[in-house]
A and B are shown apart, each in its own frame.
Chain A
Amino acid sequence: MSAAPALAASTPAAGPRAGLFARRVAGRVAALLAVALAWEGLVLLLGIRPFYLPRLSSVLAAIAASPGAYAAGFLRTLAETLIGFVAGGAFGVAVAVAFLRLRALREMVFPLFVVSQTIPVIAFGALVVLWFGNTLIAKAVIAFYLTFFPVTVNALIGLESVDPRQIALMRSFGASPRQILLRLQLPSALPQTFVALRLAASLSLVGAIVGEWFGDTTGLGVLLLQAMYNENVVAIWAALLVSALLGTGFYSAVALLERRLVFWGAEQ
């Protein structure tokens, strides 16, 4: 009897959401196809020289000609990005928690962080490659460097905006600071943290590609650089296209994770 309203409440909620999702995916695919057709068509129609903009079909053909190189580049850059992103995200949240607990630490270290973020990533990248050599880790460190700071700032905002009455309630149950952190503060900070994580998804890819410019043998940044030296416009576009695929895919994955984890939305 009382299960009926529970069912009634959940069924209509799931129905339109699934339908909406399918429609949104279909819309995006259609938009993508339209852009592809316009690209191909306009280049042919307006007679644009390949030096400025090659046809999409020739770009795709270039990728198909050496799929191994692009796949290897994709995977390598993905690995660098992912390691930097995950480490940067975890470090950012950990630092935010430390800043929340220790005001003195925050006042000492936070300005240093701000200064570190004003150093252009290129300058910093040179240093990192010197330290870590021409390794995957060096690139991940650059991605990390671009990632952790926005995560720290946003996680801290989220942690500090927890309703003090909610903390008081937990304390009245005899909760330890650790229990309050895990059961209340971190989940409360999740929506705000994801704002930074979405930004960090793009930044970490930038970090990885820039890192590769300091010298490496595989990676999308390497492909891009080689194409530039050879003035191979089609190859530049090919590398660009694969990078866009990686960036969009990664961003979507983070956004999807956000929808899964922050399912309750912005309540209150």
Chain B
Amino acid sequence: MLRHQDDAPAPAPEPLIELKGVDKTFGPVKALSGLSARVGRGEFVTVVGPSGCGKSTLFNIVAGLEEPDPGGALRFEGRSCHAADLLGRVSFMPQRDLLLPWRTVIDNAILALEIEGRPRKEARAEALRMLPEFGLAGFEAQYPHQLSGGMRQRVALMRTFLFERDLMLLDEPFGALDALTRTLMQRWLLDVWQRHRRTILFITHDVDEAIFLGDRVLVMTARPGAVKLEQRIDLPRPRRPDLVTAPEFIRLKRTLLEAIEEESLKSFQIAEEKIR
């Protein structure tokens, strides 16, 4: 099942996080089955797969929110651990922005810092310095309902970045944005990533986005989810916007699309069988 696994060189001498044969069942639903993946320090790994294949479930495990079924192995910073040990050690951005409506932009951004016990004043000062980088300068005192979707998403991203952890999990952060805003945000994210050098695991359903951003792309199988294909993206960085039309990009895209289509078709058939 894991093509390319053998000829892909180990991403880094020591992976930051590693999952081996992880299963997860919710009652009758098997969400993940034998999922194995590893992410090296400083790597940008993107995950694509048909919807409902267990991508968010994978993230919930890595964020420490869900415990996988017994049997699989989970290692963080070289040590074997339970999912719950990862609570507070991974910077997680869920699919929706989940901003608190009674908090201003700045106070939403510092939520995680406050929970860590940092003095509010100090946290605010730090966030204030970061605002321009996230295109939010001058909006610190606004409330979420006064912001556009793209801006709300940037506040959520800022909240994630301010919670400085080695591993960042971004679950379809640009999924709800229009195409133009989305490409701008992608370039912006690469820029920020290059400066802050975090390890990023990034879910998307957009293949272009997966290739454009990632050092590696993991394609997941239809439910129950596992890694179907692991594709190294050896495109030079910094990546330019016109990269998406380069022949090498197109070639990668074709390979990935083929794999995804196969899986999407499968989940489609499963759904059809259920209807009958």
Contacts and interface: CB of A to CB of B under 8 A. Distances in A.
Interface string A1-35: 11111100100000000000000000000000000
Interface string A175-207: 100010001100100000000000000000000
B115 A263 contact: no
B102 A9 contact: no
Interface residues of B, number: 31
Given A166-B98, A179-B115, A171 B65 contact: yes
Q: Is chain A's interface secondary structure helix, strand, loop, or mixed overall? A: helix
Contact of B65 (A163, A166, A172): A172
B255 interface: no
Contacts, number: 71
Interface string A78-107: 000000000000000000000000000000
A180 to B, nearest CB: 9
A131 interface: no
A183 B100 CA distance: 9
A62 B60 CA distance: 71
A239 to B, nearest CB: 41
B163 A169 contact: no
Interface string B135-152: 011110111111000000
Contact of B145 (A2, A163, A172, A264): A264
Q: Is chain B's interface secondary structure helix, strand, loop, or mixed overall? A: loop
A264 B143 contact: yes
Contact of B101 (A4, A171, A264): A264
B102 A264 contact: yes
Contact of A168 (B60, B136, B137): B60
A3 B143 CA distance: 14
B102 A172 contact: no
B138 A6 contact: yes
A3 B139 CA distance: 7
Interface string A246-268: 00000000000000000111011
Nearest to A261: B102
Interface of A: 1-6, 9, 163, 165-166, 168-175, 179, 183-184, 187, 263-265, 267-268
Going nearest first, the 10 A-B pairs with the smallest beta carbon separation are A174-B88, A2-B138, A264-B101, A3-B138, A172-B92, A173-B112, A267-B101, A172-B63, A175-B115, A2-B137
Interface of B: 60, 63-65, 87-90, 92, 94, 96, 98, 100-102, 111-112, 114-116, 136-139, 141-146, 163
29 contacts: A1-B138, A2-B136, A2-B139, A3-B138, A6-B138, A6-B141, A9-B146, A163-B98, A166-B98, A168-B63, A168-B94, A169-B92, A169-B94, A172-B63, A172-B87, A172-B90, A173-B112, A173-B115, A173-B116, A174-B116, A175-B115, A183-B111, A183-B114, A263-B102, A264-B143, A265-B145, A267-B101, A267-B144, A268-B101
